[in-house]
């Protein structure tokens, strides 16, 4: 038995190596080379439709309400492999915030023809137990529609800065 194993092992290893090499070649031929990163275009004013999608996303996904609507305005990069049924459970890659008990402000950090980045700042209303928080919301224009491509916390406890912030000198 050992002699047969010693005789066939190199052949088996060669077949496995050939299969791995063949699958790599096929993936390069089928997929082609990596596409070049798109060059950013000139900055443009924020499209009102992009802002409307951002506001709808905050009112649905962030607030955990009407999650079907939130799934439809989320880009594949945000949804990942979640199906609409999985998304409806609320276990989604979006940090929640008690939107109903806070005021939200939107500030365009970047706006290009097909991409936008907004800062969303929440200021809790009087009597609310929530703390102020800031988030970055990414938008991407796909198939002629604006979709939310990212949502991440900037600072869970710091309000948006107002005016100039004085810096202490090091003396």
Query: pLDDT digit string (tens) for 61-83?
Result: 999 999 999 999 999 999 999 99
Give the CATH number for residue 64: 3.10.450.50
pLDDT tens digits, one per residue of 82-137: 999 999 999 999 999 999 999 999 999 999 999 999 999 999 999 988 899 999 99
Residue 19 placed within a domain: no
Domain count of the chain?
Answer: 1
Is residue 150 within 8 A of residue 139, CB to CB? The reply is no
Q: Is the pLDDT of residue 8 over 60?
A: yes
> In this structure, is residue 2 part of a structural domain?
no
Is 86 exposed, middle or buried, given 0-12, 13-18 or 19+ CB atoms closer than 10 A?
middle
Q: Which domain holds residue 119?
A: 48-155
In this structure, is residue 69 part of a structural domain?
yes
30 located within any domain: no
Measure the CA–CA gap between 93 and 56, rounded to whole angstroms.
17
- Assess if residue 13 is contained within a domain: no
Tell me, yes or no, whether 34 lies in a domain.
Answer: no
In a domain, 31, yes or no: no
Q: What's phi and psi for 107, nearest 5 deg? A: -130, 120
Q: Answer whether residue 151 is part of any domain.
A: yes
Dihedral sign from CA coordinates of 88, 143, 52, 115: positive
Distance (Å, whole) CA 43 – CA 149: 19
């Amino acid at each position: 038995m050992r002699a047969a194993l010693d005789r066939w092992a190199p052949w088996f290893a060669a077949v496995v190596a050939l299969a791995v090499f063949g699958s790599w070649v096929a993936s390069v031929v089928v997929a082609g080379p990596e596409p070049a990163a798109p060059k950013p275009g000139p900055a443009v004013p924020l499209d009102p439709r992009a802002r409307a999608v951002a506001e709808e996303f905050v009112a649905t996904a962030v607030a955990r309400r009407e999650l079907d609507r939130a799934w439809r305005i989320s880009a594949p990069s945000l949804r990942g492999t979640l199906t609409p049924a999985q998304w409806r459970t609320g276990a989604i890659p979006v940090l929640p915030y008690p939107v109903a008990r806070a005021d939200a402000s939107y500030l365009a950090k970047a706006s290009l023809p097909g991409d936008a980045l907004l800062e969303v700042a929440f200021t809790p209303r009087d009597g609310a137990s929530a703390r102020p928080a800031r988030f970055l919301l990414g938008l991407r224009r796909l198939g002629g529609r604006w979709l939310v491509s990212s949502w991440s916390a900037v600072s869970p406890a710091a309000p948006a800065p107002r005016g100039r912030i004085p810096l202490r000198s090091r003396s």
